[in-house]
Structure 1
Amino acid sequence: MPPNDLNWLGIVLAAVSAFALGWLWYGALFKRARCREAGTDLDTKAAHPGLRLVFAFLGSFLAALMFEIFLGSKATAANGFGAGFVVGVFFVTTSFGINYAFSQRSLRLWMVDSGYHVTQFCLYGLILGAL
């Protein structure tokens, strides 16, 4: 797909949606459970939070860009959402599951982290298909 045919507004909005979702998911809904399962302190401030945010946005942007290319220009909100669900469940969560099994991480941590990414890719598909 030529760069002029890409939905740049949708790509940026999808990347930003990952931040809004992350704030809700890891900040409000599952912070305590994730910290408990990952063995991290609730109140510890991250070193270099700005650098983490830049890296996270770059990753979100690249994922949204590739998802836009994957969906194609004829995607609708409905089939974008469905494609996001398939990618989230059958690519991301299964990959996490393999890693989490070998690193002996808990099922609960896998569910929290995988749930975020399933929702993230559903949002990507919904946004990219709608715009």
Structure 2
Amino acid sequence: MLAQSAESINYLAVFVAALSSFVIGGLWYSLLFGKAWMVENNFDEEDMKNGHMGKIFGGAFILSLIISIVLVLFLGPDRNGMIGASAGFTAGLFWVATAMGITYLFERKSTKLFFINAGYHVVTFTLMGFILGVWR
């Protein structure tokens, strides 16, 4: 991990980058792939209504903040938009998606579900990296 001081981290950018995962997720898992995602998970509308939304969304935001903090530390103080987006894309595709792929293979989950979920993370990490790179 690159050493950097707390002063080189824009904490508002960290927050916005974490929040961006919710914007992408809202579009990804509703308008773009919501129905297919529900089918692949064997969810119906009733399942969606019975979830503990505070726990799900609160936990997801905390995890997104952790991702954002670690990503900005990984990017280092000499970052820019291109470095951030490239590093985010690389982390999303070659670390997150491939790790998910291993799990999906052993859990025998569908390839379609893998591409929906892994694609979300690749796009999210890319945008988060861009935000953190540009907004220093």
Q: TM-score range by the shorter chain?
A: over 0.9
Moved over 4 A (4+): none
Quick one: distance in 1 between partners of 2:111 and 2:34?
A: 16
Is the contact made by 1:32 and 1:42 (CA closer than 8 Å) also made in structure 2?
no
**Paired residue total:** 131
Partner Cα distance (1:42, 1:23) in 2: 16
Q: Is the 8 A contact 1:31 1:42 kept in 2?
A: no
Listed as ranges, the matches of 1:1-131 within 5 Å are 1-44=4-47, 45-131=49-135
Aligned counterparts of 1:109 and 1:42: Cα–Cα separation in 2: 18
Report deviation, 1:38: 1.3
User: 1 CA distance for matches of 2:109 and 2:45?
Assistant: 18
- Deviation (angstroms), 1:46: 3.9
- Which residues of structure 2 form unaligned runs of 5+? none
1:52-106 CA distances to partner (integer Å, 9 max, x unpaired)?
Answer: 1110100000000000000011111011111111101100010000000000000
Normalising by structure 2, report the TM-score: 0.92
Alignment root-mean-square deviation, CA: 1.1
Moved more, 7-16 or 39-48: 39-48
Kindly provide the amino acid, as one letter, of the partner of residue 108 in structure 1.
K
Structure 1 length normalisation: TM-score?
Answer: 0.95
SS at match of 1:97: helix
Deviation at 1:7, TM superposition (A): 1.5
Unaligned runs of 5+ residues in structure 1 are none
Task: Return the letter of the residue paired with 1:34.
Answer: W
| One-letter identity of the residue aligned with 2:111 | L
